[in-house]
Structure 1
Amino acid sequence: MALRSAAGYKQVPEEEKSKLVGNVFSSVASSYDLMNDLMSVGLHRLWKDSTESVDVHMHQLVGDVITTELLFVLRKWDVAFRALERINSVSHRAMQGTLTDIEEDTQIYVCDINPNMLNVGKKRASERGYKEGHCLSWIQGDAEALNFEDGSMDGYTIAFGIRNVTHIEKALSEAYRVLKRGGRFLCLELSHVDVPLFKQIYDVYSFSVIPAVGELVAGARQSYQYLVESIRRFPNQEKFAQMIQEAGFERVEYENLVGGVVAIHSGLKL
């Protein structure tokens, strides 16, 4: 009997999940930012751009370094843009002395398996004034089989994407493989609410409101039904932290935001 995997609550053959997920994100790519605003009531921007916890973790990822290779396996490009802004800030401080421009010695790779999502990300980068080919590169690739050398990255971040891979353990193994010793792994992902009353409200909102809004705004009710169900299928915070440890990472920890709606997981390759 063939192995089977769950794409949301719909049981599908494991080999079909990648195609299903690809179709989901191809159908919603053009309205992705708008739908994120509507689904989270704008909170997704606070999680990435204003939350102190996110800012602290981004500092841990980038740090006050002179050269760095950073890999972002993304469904949200703002995280990569935020890292670039922090690098620019460090660069400007460095220019006060005799150090070279950090931007010239830094490379950020933004990787996504879906070309439609990559194209939207490139457009967002252009709107922000970020030029491709300077220190920002866009790569179409699979998180389960990255086309990067062993020990080539100083940092790895995956945002709102790991729950959509077919084999989470393979994606974690690849993250570990491409990181240098001392490299940091960060994962920003929708997770499990642990406050009983809030969980009930969140479930009603997720299963009733989000698919309806998806149909109204994007004409993609089934795609957003899948996105909601995929969150519930994703391992809880403790289980996912254990999976990160089993991949080889040390000093693994996580922090819940908004009662567990979102969690930030981190680990080091030592």
Structure 2
Amino acid sequence: MRVPIAVRVALFALVVMGVYTYFANSIPQIESRPPQELSLEGGNVTPAQLVRAGQEIFRTKGTCEVCHRVGQAGARAPDLAGIGARAAQRKPGMSAKQYLIESLLQPNAYVVEGYPPIMPAVDRPPIGLNRSEVWAVVAYLQSLGGTVDVTLNDIPPTVGAGGGATAAAAEVKVPGDPKAGRAVFTGKGGCVACHKAGDIAGAPVGPDLSQIARIQTPEYIMRKILDPKGAGTVAGFPAGVMPQTFGQTLTAREYTDLVAFLLTLK
């Protein structure tokens, strides 16, 4: 008895699907979970453990290395080598510990000469460190040339309240279309003449914007487009290059689309 071609094709397809299904099910499945917040309150932690935790936060959740380096000047912010000792010389009457805590929670209270006031408070979105995490980061910064003596009681109990990981993870809704904003970035806005953004290649006249939404607030991004001079110039890049006229040349829709696109760069 001759089996019709259609039947043979169907049987072959079923066999192939069965083989792929078996192969796929044989691969161990790994459940992906978001990173948990660090909580050290009430725990017995040594200074060395605290410093290690702070160093990890500095490199990961804190996104500090996007702007800062240890042992070399960063693209956007000062070199932090020796900051554990140098911090005591920043503001008269303020200890190194006090200065480091203030620099994380109120970064615009003192801005190092030659750098713009672009650092966001680390306990607020988009970074959103909790109290324990701020404590650990301060300990790590103290370890860079200083003595680690910060305690949890030195960190205000209100730190992170209403601005922790949950708030930081929440998506900021902007009434714009990121896809249309990408077109503004590469087209009418002319942003690629100075900036790189993710997979969009741009001239290195201005800073790389590939992670701008990870390190800056929506308010800063919106202000920087309309008032680039007032928002400050990133260290290492020429001042006065970014046009001050986007508020006039872009329509309201184009502006919100551009902001929506920039907020996808994380």
> How does the TM-score come out when normalised to structure 1?
0.29
Largest Rg, 1 or 2: 2
Structure 1 or 2: more strand by fraction = 1
> How does the TM-score come out when normalised to structure 2?
0.29
Structure 1 or 2: more helix by fraction = 1
